[in-house]
Amino acid sequence: MTCKDFEAQLDAYIDNELPPAVVGEMTEHLDACAACARSHERQLALRRALTQHAPALQAPPGLRASIRQAIRAQIRPAATPRLPEWRWLAAAAVLVGVVAGTWRVATTRARAEALTDALLASHVRSLLGSHLLDVASSDQHTVKPWFNGKLDYSPSVYDLAGRGYPLLGGRLDYVANGAVAALVYGRRQHVISVFLWPAERGPTAGPATVTRQGYHMLHWIAPDYAYWVVSDLGSTELREFTQLLQRADSAAARPDGR
Amino acid sequence: MRERAHSTIAEGTLAPSELARFEALVLPHLDAAYTLARYLMDNDDDAHDVAQEALLRALKYFDGFRGDDARAWVLAIVRNACHTWQRTGRSHPVAVEFNEELHSGAVGDEHPEAALLRAADREAVRGAVAALPLEFREVIILREVQGLSYKEIGEIAEIPVGTVMSRLSRARRRLARALSSVARERS
Ligand SMILES: [Zn+2]
């Protein structure tokens, strides 16, 4: 390799864009030729200067917020009655294969579809690695307080590690125009998302099961919360898990606590 | 004080699953989008506005995106938005002071020494980058700041890979010259 060849390919060399065979020749020339070694050193010095003084930047919070707002504006269906966010979620949830209330069934069913869609999407998205956990901890006393000030309710978080369902953490998710708590539990390599939000106090119901794209979704209404559990775990185990949650809920609701 | 760019998108045009896909695929690259906009525009305000406009455009046309490289896709939209802004003169007066004499690089053909580059400080580096013509600046930012491959850069800037390399090479020569001339001035 001549110095001219070396010089012509130096950029591609430092950018890792050359085929391995050429890289070998370049490296050989570099070891043998002091002048080209100086050129190479100069390029690396320039790169260091850029890395140090022209770094990647973070988007300003205002920009992030306005994009998120635009996304939420897209979700809002036209002519939706203005209920507080989680109230219509609760209303829609009641209708999913459980109870037909006094709500207009057609619109509510469409919303229920949209809700299962959104919850499943949230779960799948979390698995894609972009947003699995905002708070990663197996300690319920770390995860539960994390939601303080972020939601107008405090989700129940339980330690089910002893039963083979360790707590992994939680995240704040936007589902159908509202912020909801998503708790994440594990079972072997499977991830379970538990979504919950305040339910109208009323008759308890469920669980009802929906299966979509290989994911099981279990839904029920406890006295205080509407629950959705989403996972690719087998339905028998997922049912066992929901029973553990329900039992923990009833235990917590007893006046003497625990 | 000035007005922010306004969103012109229609509401409720994408399915929830598409929006979730947008959040999962595109939003993780918001920092990269802003970074590119900030280096291609002359000040923070323009960068914010052009990045916002580009992201809303991306959201609007997201149902047409079927590729596997969302980062390159969104960066291409940002890059085009920056070019449009620069062309139509919507940008605001240049905030980076640029001293033509200082950066003109009349140093002759000798290689600037690595030591001079090592001495370059933040102001000098940013100034030298800002002084690059847009088509050189974008390849430098995409490569050195964002670590993209020649192929990705070529797709974003709509140029062949060979042109990516020659522009990078020329951009680096200009930067090295500008930085070592700054260093010489000071020593
Ligand atoms: Zn040589």
Of B48, B146, B149, nearest to A63 by CB-CB distance is B48
Q: Is 90 exceeded by the pLDDT of residue B140?
A: yes
Cβ distance B20 to A11 less than 8 Å, yes or no, reads no
Q: Among A14, A31, A49, identify where a domain stops.
A: A49
Task: Give percent helix, percent strand, percent coil of chain B, each to the nearest 5.
Answer: 70, 0, 30
Distance from C-alpha of A253 to C-alpha of A255, rounded to nearest angstrom: 6
- Cα A27 to Cα A16, A24, A45, B165: the distances in Å are 12, 5, 18, 19
Residue A74 has a pLDDT of 67
List CB contacts of B140: < 8 A, sequence separation 6 or more.
A50, B129, B132, B168, B171, B172, B175
Q: Is A124 on the interface with B (CB under 8 A)?
A: yes
Q: Is residue A88 part of a domain?
A: no
User: Rounded mean pLDDT of B17-45?
Assistant: 89
The alpha carbon of A23 and the centre of ligand 1 are apart by a number of angstroms equal to 14
Nearest CA in chain B to A46: B117
Question: What number of other Cβ atoms are within 10 A of residue A145's Cβ?
Answer: 12
A57 in a domain, yes or no? no
Q: How far is the alpha carbon of A162 from chain B, nearest alpha carbon, in Å?
A: 33
CATH of segment(s) B2-88: 1.10.1740.10
d(CA A150, CA A152): 7
Contact criterion met (CB below 8 Å) for B61 and B70 = no
A31 plus A124 within the same structural domain? no
Query: CA–CA separation, A79 vs B176, rounded Å?
Result: 60
pLDDT in tens, B146-167: 999 999 999 999 999 999 999 9
pLDDT for res B87: 83
At CB < 8 A and 24+ separation, what contacts does A105-113 make?
A: A111/A77, A111/A176
B130 versus B185: the higher-pLDDT residue is: B130
pLDDT at A89: 55
Residues A251 and A154: their CA atoms lie apart, in Å, by 17
The domain ranges of chain B are 2-88, 100-186
Residue A191 structural domain: 112-253
pLDDT of residue B74: 96
Which B-chain residues 56-95 have CB contacts (< 8 A) with chain A?
56, 59
| Same domain flag for A38 and A130 | no
Q: Crossing angle, helix B150-157 and helix B161-186, to 10 degrees?
A: 100
Give the closest of B28, B117, B168 to A11, CB-based: B168
Domain at A221, CATH number? 3.30.200.100
* Residue B35, pLDDT score: 96
Closest Cα in chain B, distance from residue A207 (Å):
24
For residue A123, the model assigns a pLDDT of 83
* pLDDT range class, residue A83, cuts 50, 70, 90: very low
For residue A62, tell me if it sits in a domain.
Answer: no
Nearest to B16 among A11, A43, A114 (CB): A114
Give the pLDDT confidence score for residue A90 in this predicted structure: 55
How would residue A102 be classed by pLDDT, with cut points 50, 70 and 90? Answer: very low
% of residues, chain B, pLDDT over 90: 50
Most confident segment among A106-120, A218-232, B12-26, B155-169? B155-169
Tokens, residue A212: 């979509």
Which residues sit opposite A148 in a β-bridge?
A151
- The continuous run of DSSP H or E covering A130 comes out as none
- Hey, are the CB atoms on A49 and B118 less than 8 Å from each other? yes
Count how many domains chain A has. Answer: 2
Question: Is the separation of the CB atoms in A42 and B117 below 8 Å?
Answer: yes
Hey, which of A87-96, B57-66, B108-117, B124-133 has the most confident mean pLDDT? B124-133
CATH of segment(s) B100-186: 1.10.10.10
Look at A208 and A156; give whichever has higher pLDDT.
Answer: A156
| Burial of A238 per CB tally in 10 Å (0-12, 13-18, 19+) | buried
Assess whether A138 and A222 both reside in one domain. yes
List, as ranges, residues 89-148 from B with C-beta within 8 Å of A.
Answer: 111-115, 117-118, 120-122, 124-126, 129, 140-141, 143-146
CB-CB contact of B85 with B43 (8 Å): no
Please indicate, yes or no, whether residues A153 and A233 belong to a single structural domain of this protein. Answer: yes
Query: Would residue A54 count as lying in a domain?
Result: no
Position A227, amino acid: Y
The two three-digit tokens of residue A157, written as one number: 């978080």
Share of chain A above pLDDT 70, in %: 78
Cβ–Cβ below 8 Å for A50 and B129: yes
**pTM of the predicted structure, to 2 decimals:** 0.55
Instruction: Write down the pLDDT at residue A209.
Output: 81
Could you tell me if residue A53 is left (phi over 0), alpha (psi between -120 and 50 degrees) or otherwise beta?
alpha
Of A70, A118, A125, the CB nearest to B7: A70
Ligand 1 centroid vs A26 CA: distance in angstroms? 9
Tell me whether residue A207 is in a domain: yes
Q: Which helix (H) or strand (E) holds B45?
A: helix B44-60
Residue A122's closest chain B neighbor by CA?
Answer: B20
Residue A13 lies in a domain: yes
**Rg from Cα positions in chain B:** 18
pLDDT in tens, A19-44: 988 999 999 999 999 999 999 999 99
Separation between Cα atoms, residue B177 and residue B169, nearest integer Å: 12
Is the residue at A98 inside a domain?
A: no
Closest residue on chain B to A42 (Cα):
B114
Kindly list the distances between the CA atom of residue A116 and the CA atoms of A58, A90, A93, A174, A201, in Å, as whole numbers in the listed order: 33, 12, 9, 13, 22
B169 to chain A: closest CA residue: A11
Per CB-CB distance under 8 Å, the chain B contacts of A60 are: 34, 44, 48
Q: With an 8 Å Cβ cutoff, are A11 and B169 in contact?
A: yes
